[in-house]
Every structure is written in structure tokens, then in C-alpha cells.
A and B are shown apart, each in its own frame.
Chain A
């Protein structure tokens, strides 16, 4: 039941988004030369169609929800595993932190910290592998990109920028 309601919320959000984007498109600056096929031409077609389809989907889900409420008198409560949410938030948070750390700390430091944090956050008993994998993979990848392919990697800021300059 809860997942059905969640799904309806998502579809409703898409419906609202489609309508809102239609009005945003309506405000696009006009161009005299392309009056009949202006910048809003295609986005309005797409947003309009998306709104109609989302509305139909919402109706279908509402009918389904009503039917299941009537037949199951309250229905079964589907529960979300709290451990699942914790793991998801943890890895999501780590990836986000890695994204920012790449800009501040540079590739080498940020990647080593991320790999250590992520491997220690997941159940795996080989401590040596956890400890060694991070620096080996980081330096291997760094060498491959900077020396082998001459491709850029984030260098970070301040002291970390200077450190990165020493390495690549």
C-alpha cells in the first residue's frame, strides 16, 4: 500500500513538473524569424503530452488503489527494511562527499579516502585487501590517466593543489 502511494506521489510530482515546465516554456523569448516554430514549440508539445500521460497514469493508479482498499479492507502494510535505507543513505552520502572532496582535496587524497571509507562501510572481512586496495588502485589509475593518456584529473585547492602538482 505504501509503495503504491509513493508511486502516486512520484507520478503526481511529474504531472506538476510537466505543467510547470509548460508554463516556463511559454515564457521563452520570442523570435520573429521562427515565430511558428519558436523555442517553445517542441518543449510545449513534450510537456503537454507528458502532463496528459501522467494524468492518465495517476487516474489508473487511483482506481487501482481504490479497488485494493475495498478488496483488502486496509490492505497489507509493506515495510521498507531500515537497514536498506541506512546502507543507501550511507553510500549515497559517501559518493556525494567524494564529489565535493574531488574539488577540494584533489583526485589522489579524495579517492584514497573514499575507497577506504566505502570498503570499511561494507561487510568484507579481509582487512589487508581493504587497506592495500585503496592506495594501489588510486595511484594506478592516476598514473594511467596522467602519464599514460595525458588526461586531466582534479587537483583540489590550496595545499592539496600543490600536492597534486607534485604528483601529476
Chain B
């Protein structure tokens, strides 16, 4: 293995052009990630024809760099405009934007950038040292395990946010309900389509989150008129200090592990990783009620997880030839045009390629720290423009990006509807995070539950007797009890008028 790494390093050192390619790809990825609707998949897909002009290693480095950059890029617009550039950054907006509104946009961007790099490096290291065994572990995941994983995320709905538990549950259940619209993946029957052809494909996730975040924000800001409190300043990106880093170390580590494991599971992806990490960060926090108000952990958790998932999703791609995400599925196209078939033999037959990709992804994550600081700064210049121009421009950008996704006006209609839904949810105090967790995890939970029941001959105990599924479900139950008990104790303390250290801090805030 060491020989392979040395050989790959030698190739890259003797070929400085690869560094330029990585820098370009990271910049390209960040740009695509930060524009709503233009996700990393589009960025990778657009570059695939160009990889034909390069050798396979350079081509794959180019695509890998875009993947890394785009996963972080989404957080820039999420933090500065409450407009997630990509689905995996939706969760970052929940705490990133409130932090930016408190005059700490630069800090929020710095946390997102550092967390992305740490998560990305963690995922790549795991990819480098444990790709084959992790890929085999991922194959152990059957429907019960996927269901248990979804339950783990869903059980956090009740503990997210600082408002009513019942409202959080309602929002989560609404999300789960919306996710059922469209053709039933098992029986092929249309559900809640009411005869409309447009609803057969279900509710698109990207139009929905852009509507909920970006459009709802534009409606709110225009409704409230010009206010000084809305001015986001201090946007010079500042990376977290050592002490701030130490404070979030547990969140970073936990989220990176979650991101890598979930990324390695075929068909789940970075968005799910980000939401489950956010849920877990909120659940294990001493101050879960502060999540959603602009806490560093609320940015660090999803950002480290979604970038760790990049490395994770490369594990099944390179070790088994199975794409771990939509972007890696597109990347297979880039490999096949060079006559390379990813799979178990790839590491033996094309070790130079595989190990160069490992090193390239590591470099991409490190370069992202440098490039990201600059790009976030340029992006932030937009904030100096008056909202009378920026607000409508955001609407246009969202409409254009969402339309370009599938050349489909229905997606625009979905975005508008969810803009109103997002606005109403804010107005009546329903947590948006719970709704989106339901929307993301609903399809996974439903399909895996039904498949699992079918495979086990409708024996529910099969879900708890399998080691991985049982452990995850046990963990879900324990953490649910822990979260609810914490919430109960906090409510009781408030009712008793206890002004302990926590409540004093809240009062100050």
C-alpha cells in the first residue's frame, strides 16, 4: 500500500498540472454549490466531457475536486442569504443564517469552512485506510438497518429547537406526509396525486428547500420592510480559534464519523448525513434549545458530516463499483469514458489512479481552506448591495436554478408553494428543521420498513434482533428518552422559576 502511495505522490509531484486542476475544480465546485439549484451534480456533469482531454487520473481528480468544493459551496449562500445553494447545505442555514444576522457572518463562514475541511479530511483518511472493509460493512446494511438509521434521525425531531415539542412533532409528521406524495416505490400506485400528472414524481427536494428557506426569507424581509437589524456585516471570513475548535471537537468527530458511514451507504448521501448529524448534535448538546438560534455546533455538525460523506460515498464507488450518491453515480460516467470500470479489481489493476485520487481529495480539502476564505469574501460583497436589488435577484436566481434542474415549470410551482409553507411555518412557530428532517428521511424510513417487513415475513422482531439495526434502534430509544427527559427537566426548571446558570445565560442572550 505504501508503495502505491509513494508512486501516486511521485506522479503528482512530477505533474504540477494536477495541482492547477485541483484548484480549478475546487473553485468550480464552490461556485456551483453556492448558486441555488446548480448543485454539485450539475458541476460534475458539465465537466465530464472535458475530462476526455485529460488522462484518467487528471479527469478523476477534476471531478473529485468539484465534488469536494460544491459540498462546501452550498453553505456560503445558506449562511449569507438563508438560501442553501445545494441540498446538503440546507441544514447549515438553520444556525448559519441566524449567526450571520447577529453580525457574525464571517465567523459562521469560518466555522463552516473549517468543519467542511475537517470532515472532508476525516472522510478521505477513512477512504485511504479502510475502503474495502467499510464497503463490505455497507453491504451488510439491509432494509432493517436503513430503517433504524432513519428512525435515529427522525427521533431527534422532538428535541430540535426551542419551541413546543408538539409543534416540532407536527412539523416532522407534515414532512413525512409530504414525502409520501407521488408514486409508491413498492407498488407503483399513485398516492395523494389527485389525478395530477405533475405530482406523480413527488415533491422535488431541491425546489422544496429553496422555497422553504430562500423564498420564505424574501417574503419575510420584504414584508417587514427595511430594518437595521437585518444588515449582515463583518463578513470577513475568520477561521475558528483553537479554543473554539476544542469546544466543538466532539461534535466534529461525531459528525465526521456519521458522515463517513452514511456516505458509504449506497443511496443515502450527504444531505441525510447532514441532517442526522445535526439531530445528534442537538440531542447531545447541553443547550439543545439554542439550536436554530445561531450556535457554532449547529454549523459544524452538518458541514463536517456532509463533507465527510464525500469521502464516504467514494468508498463503495472505488471498492465495489456502486455509487454512494447521485454525484458519484455521475462520476462513474467520467470513469467509463476512459474505459475504467470501478469495482473490486480497480484497486489492483489501477492502483495509481485510486491512490492518486485519495491524495488528490486530501489536497482538495486542504486547498478548500485557502480558496474558500477568498471565495466567501467575494460572495459576501453582494451583501453590500441594497436588499431592494438583492432580494428580487435572489428570487430570479432561485427560479432560474430550479427551472434549469429539469427544464420543468412544475418545480417552480413546488418552490412557490413551499415558499408560502416556509413563511407560514415561521409565522406560527413550527420548526423548519423538523419538517425537512421528515421530508429527507421519510422515503428511506417508509421503503426500508416495508421492505424489511416483507423480507422478514412480517416479523417485527427482525428489526431488533439484527445486530446493527438493533443497536441503532436501541441508541435511538436511549437518545429519545434522554432528549425528552432533558426537555422535561428544562420546562420544569422554567416553571419553578429556577435561575440557574443556563437560564441566566439565556436571559443575557
Chain A interface residues (CB < 8 Å from chain B):
6-7, 10-11, 14, 18, 21, 24-25, 28-29, 31, 33-34, 36-39, 41-43, 46-47, 49-50, 53-54, 56-57, 60, 83-85, 87-88, 90-92, 95-96, 98-99, 102-103, 107, 111, 114-115, 118-119, 122-124, 126, 129-130, 133, 137-138, 141, 145, 149-154
Contacts and interface: CB of A to CB of B under 8 A. Distances in A.
B225 interface: yes
A114 B219 CA distance: 15
A84 B227 CA distance: 12
B313 to A, nearest CB: 24
Contacts of A154: 403, 409
A43 B189 CA distance: 13
Contacts of B254: none
Nearest to B392: A118
Contact of B399 (A38, A102, A122, A133): A102
Interface stretch (B94-102, B164-172, B369-377, B489-497): B164-172
Given A6-B428, A54-B170, A118-B395, A124 B386 contact: yes
Contacts of A95: 215, 218-219, 395, 416, 419
A103 B409 contact: yes
B170 A57 contact: yes
Contact of A96 (B191, B223, B416): B416
A7 B403 CA distance: 34
Given A7-B428, A154-B409, A137 B396 contact: yes
A124 B388 CA distance: 6
A144 to B, nearest CB: 9
B4 interface: no
B223 A88 contact: yes
Which DSSP category, helix, strand, loop or mixed, fits chain A's interface? Answer: helix
Nearest to A50: B173
Interface stretch (B104-112, B345-353, B446-454, B461-469): B446-454
B397 A21 contact: no
Contact of B177 (A46, A102, A150): A46
Contact of A91 (B189, B218, B393, B400): B218
Interface of B: 38, 42, 46, 164, 166-167, 169-170, 173-174, 176-177, 180, 184, 186-187, 189, 191-192, 215, 218-219, 222-226, 386-389, 391-393, 395-397, 399-400, 403-404, 407, 409, 412-413, 416, 419-420, 424, 428-429, 442, 446, 449-450, 453-454, 458
A7 to B, nearest CB: 5
25 contacts: A34-B450, A37-B458, A42-B180, A46-B173, A60-B164, A87-B222, A87-B223, A88-B219, A88-B223, A98-B399, A99-B413, A102-B399, A102-B403, A102-B409, A114-B392, A118-B395, A122-B387, A123-B388, A124-B386, A130-B389, A137-B396, A149-B404, A150-B46, A152-B403, A153-B400
Given A95-B395, A152-B404, A38 B187 contact: yes
A84 B387 CA distance: 16
A21 B403 CA distance: 30
A60 B166 contact: yes
Given A18-B177, A85-B223, A153-B404, 4 more contacts: A7-B428, A43-B192, A107-B400, A141-B400
Contacts of A138: 396
Contact of A118 (B184, B224, B391, B449): B391
B166 A10 contact: no
A10 B225 contact: no
Contacts of B400: 107, 141, 145, 153
A138 to B, nearest CB: 8
Contacts of A153: 400, 403-404
Contacts of B191: 25, 28, 39, 43
Contacts of A36: 453, 458
Contacts of A11: 170
Contacts of B170: 11, 14, 50, 53-54, 57
A89 to B, nearest CB: 9
Contacts of B413: 99
Contact of B225 (A42, A87, A107, A151): A87
A102 B399 CA distance: 9
A20 to B, nearest CB: 11
A59 to B, nearest CB: 10
A137 B223 CA distance: 24
Given A50-B170, A149-B46, A119 B396 contact: no
Contact of B223 (A57, A84, A102, A133): A84
Closest 5 CB pairs of A and B: A124-B388, A118-B392, A88-B223, A91-B222, A122-B388
B153 to A, nearest CB: 15
Contact of A141 (B164, B389, B397, B407): B397
A119 B215 CA distance: 16
Contacts of B187: 31, 33-34, 38-39
B412 to A, nearest CB: 6
Contacts of B389: 115, 119, 124, 129-130, 133
Contacts of A123: 225-226, 388
A112 to B, nearest CB: 10
Contacts of A141: 396-397, 400
Contacts of A29: 189
